[in-house]
């Protein structure tokens, strides 16, 4: 092996190792944060007690932890924390996928109309007095219909179809936003609770909701991780991706369906939480490069950690009042985002 | 026959782009498709790769790649036969040279460990041939235009194709880099019997490298043959609307010397 070759290979390997280390680090941080934040709240619970509860669940040891403490942990805080982890991973992973699909760092499910149709779907379910478990379904159905309507529309035009898709998405977003507002205002008092939910909160999520969300979300994240090569090829443009042998239309359909599904579920149960899908993938891309083999798993874990952190801040900063989580994600995300942009010498913004 | 195009016509948004194009390229041949802007060169390449575009319509004709009809081939099969080096790529930064070259492996089948090792060593040897190994870990954004174009060539060669298409691949490079890339490719036609379809509008590049040239004029074939047969003052006048002298070079090739209207006493007056 010649010398330059060795060096080059080493350079690349170190990039991969760095990403591997970051993955482990993020996983560790998320676990520690989850353990710590389980203890935070109106009733403070020590990590020892928490571990005791889990230990007794696993049949490892009987503990002297009071029943109320166990209920607070298991029924109130644990589902919420799991929801934060899942939702964060979903938003960040779908943001990553959308940015590759649209070859635009500004793209995320919120901009291209998926989330506005999801929230309109959930609002409709609310006004039709459907049970809460239906919110996700109506949200998903409406966002899926919208995603494919936009997709078909963009195929009819000429020129760059992804740009069209983006523009159509923005148009449809505004329309759905207006419709949603109309419903809310015409509902009067009842609309207010919906408005709060739309601002984003993980506080309403219990085991019932989590049961509906968990499998599709985990599945969706897995699919996006498995499509990392396809996402890489999308970066090079649709025409070149086809020259390289990729069935672009099929990949686009899969990406839109999966993203519509998992984003709709997150909007239906956690409301609209902005900035996660934009900041987390973008920041990680600036540090670790654009290869989606690294980026998608990093973004999934990074989003999970970021949203868990934001949710912890939302419920503790001005306790007992809870902040809408969207306020926290924007307040924390935006400055980090700006610093990253200023520091980056990358062309990832092109 | 590596590429066989028979009577292909094509409309885009009801405007005729190609009219009854016929040609074939033999295995190991360096075949140039030469024509001015808007003569249908790139459209022809897209047809050969089965890229339609939303409003495109093929009106009859047939295309065969390595003897197989194009309609019978899936996207992945086509990519195993043909690789394309585009004029530019819209790839953003953030990928290393090696990661970009490895994009060419998407359509390549490698299931066993031996196959994967063989594929990796092919990537190594392609990068070595093109002098890219020392850049392997570098971000593609930091490369110059000439280096980046070599990365795109390496990506295409990583596909291990039978046919390589250069779609104006050197149009924005300086003459040194253009000749360097064409020379690398020319050597591959000799060493590996690679068939090359090179779309160019630089007449002298075509004259210097092509075994045969097809001259395209507003969607029609204006002639196919060796550079000496095709690059005549009369055909150049018809197709490119220039006055030019065709000179014989010492090595037995030809060179085209256009004359310029603003100079007195030239052929334009």
The closest CB to that of A235, out of B76, B92, B107, belongs to B92
Q: What is the DSSP string of A98-131?
A: HHHHHT-TT--TTTTTHHHHHHHHHHHHHHTT--
The Cα–Cα gap between B183 and B64 comes to 27
Of all helices (H) and strands (E), which one includes residue A70?
helix A67-71
Model confidence at B56, pLDDT cuts 50, 70, 90, reads low
User: What six digits make up the tokens of A300?
Assistant: 């999934």
Between positions 253 and 312 of A, the ones with CB within 8 A of B are 285, 289-291
Interface membership of B249 toward A (CB under 8 Å): no
In chain A, the N- to C-terminal Cα span, in Å, equals: 36
Q: What is the pLDDT of residue B265?
A: 59
Where is pLDDT greater, at A19 or A304? A304
Topology of domain A8-349 in CATH is ABC transporter involved in vitamin B12 uptake, BtuC (1.10.3470)
How many residues are listed for chain A in this entry? 350
pLDDT of residue A110: 73
Length of chain B: 269
pLDDT digits (tens, 9 = 90+) for A65-96: 777 887 888 888 899 999 999 999 999 999 99
Phi/psi of residue A43, nearest 5 degrees: -105, 115
Per the CB < 8 Å rule, is A290 touching B83? Answer: no
At residue A227, the pLDDT reads 96
Domain regions of chain A by residue span: 8-349
Straight-line distance from the first to the last Cα atom of chain B, in angstroms, rounded to the nearest whole number: 46
Put simply, the chain B residues between 74 and 103 with a CB less than 8 A from any chain A CB are 74-76, 78-80, 82-84, 86, 89-96, 98-99, 103
Q: Which of B115, B114, B158 is nearest to B136 (CA)?
A: B158
Q: pLDDT, tens digit, for every residue of A36-51? A: 888 887 777 887 888 8
Q: Report pLDDT for A8.
A: 45
Q: How many angstroms separate the CA atoms of B185 and B192, rounded?
A: 10
Q: Is the complex ipTM higher than 0.85? A: yes
Two tokens, residue A121: 């779907």
pLDDT for A161: 63
Q: Is the pLDDT of residue A115 over 90?
A: no
- What's the rounded Cα separation, in Å, for the pair A92 and A283? 11
A348 CB neighbours in chain B (<8 A) are 92-94
The number of CA neighbours under 13 Å toward the Cβ of B6 is 10
Taking the C-alpha atoms of residue A134 and residue A138, their distance in angstroms, rounded to an integer, is 6
The confidence score (pLDDT) of residue A319 equals 76
**Chain B residues with CB-CB distance to A242 below 8 A:** 49, 51, 75
**If pLDDT is split at 50, 70 and 90, which confidence band does A192 have?**
confident
Residue of B nearest to A1 (CA): B124
Position A150 pLDDT exceeds 70: yes
Q: From the list A11, A158, A240, which residue is nearest B89 (CB)?
A: A240
- The tokens describing A216, both together, are 């599709």
On the question of pLDDT at A2 being above 50, the answer is no
Which residues on adjacent β-strands are paired with residue B11?
A: B16, B57
Q: Find the CB nearest B95 among A103, A245, A290.
A: A290
Please give the pLDDT value at position A24. Answer: 93
In this structure, are residues B186 and B178 in contact, taking their beta carbons and an 8 Å threshold?
Answer: no
- Identify which of A217, A237, A287 has the alpha carbon closest to the alpha carbon of residue A101: A237
The radius of gyration of chain B from alpha carbons, rounded to an integer in Å, stands at 19
pTM as predicted: 0.87
Q: Report chain A residues whose CB lies below 8 A from the CB of B76.
A: 245, 247
Residue A158, chain B, CB below 8 Å: the answer is: yes
Bridge partner residues of B57 (DSSP): B11
**Strands B3-12, B56-58: pairing kind:** antiparallel
Which chain A residue is nearest to residue B78, measuring alpha carbons? A245
pLDDT in tens, B230-242: 999 999 999 998 8
Q: Highest mean pLDDT: which of A70-74, A180-184, A318-322, B165-169? A: B165-169
């Amino acid at each position: 092996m010649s010398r330059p070759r060795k060096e080059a290979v080493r350079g690349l390997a170190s990039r991969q190792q760095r990403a591997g280390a970051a993955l482990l680090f993020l996983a560790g941080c998320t676990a520690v944060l989850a353990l710590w934040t389980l203890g935070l709240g109106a009733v403070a619970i020590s990590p020892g007690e928490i571990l005791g509860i889990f230990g007794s669940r696993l049949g490892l040891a009987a503990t002297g932890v009071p029943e109320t403490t166990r209920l607070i942990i298991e029924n109130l805080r644990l589902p919420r924390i799991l929801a934060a982890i899942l939702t964060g991973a979903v938003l960040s992973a779908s943001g990553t996928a959308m940015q590759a699909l649209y070859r635009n760092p500004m793209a995320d499910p919120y901009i291209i109309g998926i989330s506005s149709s999801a929230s309109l779907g959930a609002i409709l379910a609310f006004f039709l007095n459907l049970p809460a478990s239906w919110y996700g379904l109506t949200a998903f159905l409406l966002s899926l219909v919208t995603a494919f309507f936009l997709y078909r529309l963009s195929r009819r035009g000429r020129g760059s179809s992804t740009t069209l898709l983006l523009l159509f998405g923005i148009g449809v977003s505004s329309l759905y936003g207006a419709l949603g507002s109309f419903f809310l205002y015409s509902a009067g008092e009842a609309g207010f609770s919906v408005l709060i939910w739309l601002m984003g909160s993980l506080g309403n999520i219990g085991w019932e909701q989590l049961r509906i969300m968990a499998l599709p979300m985990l599945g969706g994240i897995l699919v996006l991780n498995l499509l990392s090569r396809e996402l890489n090829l999308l970066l090079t443009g649709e025409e070149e991706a086809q020259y390289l042998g990729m069935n672009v239309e099929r990949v686009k359909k899969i990406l839109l369906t999966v993203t519509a599904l998992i984003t709709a579920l997150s909007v239906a149960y956690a409301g609209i939480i902005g900035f996660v899908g934009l900041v987390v993938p973008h920041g990680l891309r600036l540090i670790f490069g654009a290869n989606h083999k690294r980026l998608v798993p990093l973004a999934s874990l990074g989003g999970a950690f970021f949203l868990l952190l934001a949710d912890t801040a939302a419920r503790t900063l001005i306790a007992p009042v809870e902040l809408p989580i969207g306020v926290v994600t924007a307040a924390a995300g935006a400055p980090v985002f700006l610093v990253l942009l200023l520091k980056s010498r990358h062309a990832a913004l092109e | 026959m590596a590429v066989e195009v028979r009577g292909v016509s094509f409309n885009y948004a009801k405007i005729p782009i190609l009219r009854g194009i016929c040609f074939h390229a033999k295995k190991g041949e360096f075949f140039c498709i030469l024509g001015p802007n808007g003569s249908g060169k790139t459209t022809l390449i897209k047809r050969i790769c089965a890229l339609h575009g939303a409003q495109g319509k093929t009106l009859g004709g047939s295309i065969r790649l390595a003897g197989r009809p194009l309609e019978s081939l899936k996207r992945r099969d086509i990519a195993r036969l043909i690789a394309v080096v585009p004029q530019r790529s819209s790839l953003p930064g953030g990928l290393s040279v090696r990661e970009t070259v490895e994009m060419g492996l998407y359509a390549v089948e490698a299931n066993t460990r031996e196959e994967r090792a063989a594929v990796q060593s092919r990537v190594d040897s392609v990068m070595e041939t093109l002098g890219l190994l020392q850049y392997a870990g570098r971000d593609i954004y930091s490369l110059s235009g000439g280096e980046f174009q070599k990365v795109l060539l390496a990506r295409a060669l990583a596909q291990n194709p039978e046919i390589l298409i250069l779609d104006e691949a050197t149009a924005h490079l300086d003459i040194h880099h253009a000749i360097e890339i064409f020379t690398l490719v020319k050597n591959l036609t000799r060493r590996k019997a690679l068939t090359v379809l090179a779309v160019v509008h630089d007449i002298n590049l075509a004259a210097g490298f092509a075994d045969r040239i097809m001259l395209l004029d507003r969607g029609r074939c204006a002639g196919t043959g060796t550079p000496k047969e095709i690059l005549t003052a009369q055909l150049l006048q018809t197709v490119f609307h220039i006055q030019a002298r065709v000179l014989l070079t010492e090595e037995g090739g030809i060179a085209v010397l256009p004359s310029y209207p603003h100079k007195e006493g030239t052929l334009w007056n």
